[in-house]
Amino acid sequence: MPLTGKRILVGLSGGIAAYKSAELVRRLKERHAEVRVVMTESAKSFITPLTLQAVSGEPVSDALLDPAAEAGMGHIELAKWADLVLIAPASANTLARLAAGLADDLLTTLCLATPASLAVAPAMNQQMYRHPATQDNLATLARRQTLVWGPAQGAQACGDVGPGRMLEPMALVGLVEQHFAPKAQPLAGIKLMLTAGPTREALDPVRFISNHSSGKMGFALAQAAAELGAEVTLVSGPVSLATPAGVQRLDVESAAQMHAAVMAGIDRQQIFIACAAVADYAPKTVASHKIKKTAADTMVIELTKNPDIVANVAALPNKPFTVGFAAETRDVEKYARDKLDRKKLDMIAANNVAMAGQGFNSDDNALTVFWPTGQTELPLAGKTELARHLLTLIAEKYHDTH
């Protein structure tokens, strides 16, 4: 049994979905996991500690400063005990407190004190889930390697319909089993280079031409590639993102600099992913001083074409397996297939950046992936999850051709 002997700390925050947590604990125990339960004060308004004690077979912890508990399994001991901390349900308030790094009750203190993986199962009203503050908090937690499981869509206790339902207990059990399952590394030993973020094409010392790319998709791909065992080189335009663990990062500004960095190291790579939103054109001349406003109502800036990085890589005599991206606002399949054929790519991942809630500056994305003999849909998901699906597909197609 994959969960035999695994120590799982289940945390409950306040929300009607807390009634599902008793079933979650029972199902984890059925799979021979060791389960402890921690409840917030709000959670006890929805389900009693006695119920959770009955299904877990262990005392329920709810107080940060419990003299009796400190003598045995206090908050530090409990934090060290866990192999996984799973907060289900994770309310909007709890997510905010975790993102802020607060430690004002037992559950949040445990999350700061534990070396174990942290997973959250969001559960809240659909409007609360969609609020930018909640989305920012989830993005912050994801950047810290917190596992975000869910939420599901559907009817809610308040009568609304939309995202915010906690995943069902058996779905969460499946994710726990998947978390502890041995991780396949289909890219072990493979050297992989990718580009990410925007480029900036200078007009003068203070102005530049750029785009809305945040770099989130490219950095998620770099993280996923490293998790799958690849030796990753990330060539990044100017972004405000932390470098994923185990990834070598090269920072550049312009398309010309990105091209030079890629071509300098591409002969050592077996896979190349062009995820950056590279400017097609750059100003022909860059003013040495700030361009001053004149009386004229218009200004003409002459642009010159930038080098086509992905096409140049794909044209190499011993090219790596080359994957492009196509960010389109219409006719996505038409333009993506044209780019795949014209630039002689092995694969292309296309997305419609005109769709609200996905693409540039969003934490979510959806992709249609094309290769010469087929295509597949990767539906809307968080960019971290989507990156794992895409890298798994890339690994599969790479090994099919090598």
The helix (run of H) or strand (run of E) holding residue 394 is helix 383-401
* Strand 84-90 with 117-122, pairing: parallel
Tokens of 31: 């799979």
Mapped onto helix, strand or coil, the DSSP state of residue 163 is strand
Eight-class DSSP state of 1: -
Is residue 20 a contact partner of residue 87, using CB atoms and an 8 Å limit?
no
Report d(CA 198, CA 211) in Å as an integer.
6
Phi then psi for 23, rounded to 5 degrees? -65, -40
The helix (run of H) or strand (run of E) holding residue 71 is helix 67-71
Please state at what angle helix 106-113 crosses helix 92-100, rounded to 10 degrees. Answer: 40
Active site residues: 158
Which of 105, 109, 97, 176 shows the shortest CA–CA distance to 141? 97
DSSP string, 306-350: PP-HHHHHHTSTTPPEEEEEEEESS-HHHHHHHHHHHTT-SEEEE
What burial class does residue 50 get, using C-beta atoms within 10 Å of its C-beta: 0-12 exposed, 13-18 middle, 19+ buried?
Answer: exposed
Q: Distance between alpha carbon 237 and the CA centroid of its chain, in Å?
A: 19
